[in-house]
Amino acid sequence: MADPPDPAMVSPALGAGAGADVDVDVYLALGANLGDRRRQIDDATARLDAAGVAIAARSPIYETDAVSDEPQPPYLNAVVRATTALPPEALLALCLDIERALGRVRPPGRDKAPRTLDLDVLLYGARVIDTPALTVPHPAMLARAFVRVPLADVAAPGLRHPITGDPLDRSPPSPAVRRFRDSGGA
């Protein structure tokens, strides 16, 4: 995972000097339900790592039913724990860049449209951020089994939600969140 970032993939604003002074532990959720889902999750993990988000651990990959009013293919989901010196806004911009690079399109008015890649910032250290572009902790994370289960796999022992104090290093198993094994093994 040490290859340099693809220059076409990283915003100019994320170049050298855009980092914060101190490495911060971050947790990111990955999801995909279009295309080669497994490859896109692997590719996104590698791109994050190459762009200054040092991956410390990635959860197993899970297959989950899409939460949507319209019928959709199932998702693959995972969570990574990483350290980065990127400020939160730059981390979000990187996530959006990687989503675009892996073919994400956003049909107007369809927030839950199927996607080749979804990258969400779950936690940025213990920071609470509420700006028009970024809400951290991610507002839906506690309610989503497809986040809670893989998050518990990689959470630092004793990790708690910065606002509610909910323990995040454990999660009840959910029948809707199933370990994924593709033909190459996971």
Which residues of this chain interact with ligand AMP, rule CB under 6 A?
92, 111, 118, 120-121, 133-136, 138
Separation between Cα atoms, residue 133 and residue 184, nearest integer Å: 38
Kindly name the residue from 37, 58, 81, 104 that is annotated as catalytic: 104
The nearer residue to ligand AMP, 16 or 130, going by C-beta atoms, is 130
Query: Does residue 115 have an active-site annotation?
Result: yes
Burial 155-185 (b: 16+ CB within 10 A, else e): beeebeebeeeeebeebeeeeebeebeeeee
Q: Of 115, 130, 144, 166, which residue is the catalytic one? A: 115
37 catalytic residue (yes or no): no
Secondary structure class of 56 (helix, strand, coil) = strand
Of the two residues 52 and 88, which places its CB atom closer to ligand AMP in the complex? 88
Tokens of 11: 């915003």
- Per-residue DSSP letters for 89-123? HHHHHHHHHHHHHTT----TT-TT---S-EEEEEE
Least distance in angstroms from the C-beta of 145 to ligand AMP: 17
Catalytic residue among 47, 58, 118, 144: 118
Nearer to ligand AMP, 106 or 181 (CB): 106
Q: Which residues are catalytic?
A: 104, 115, 118, 120
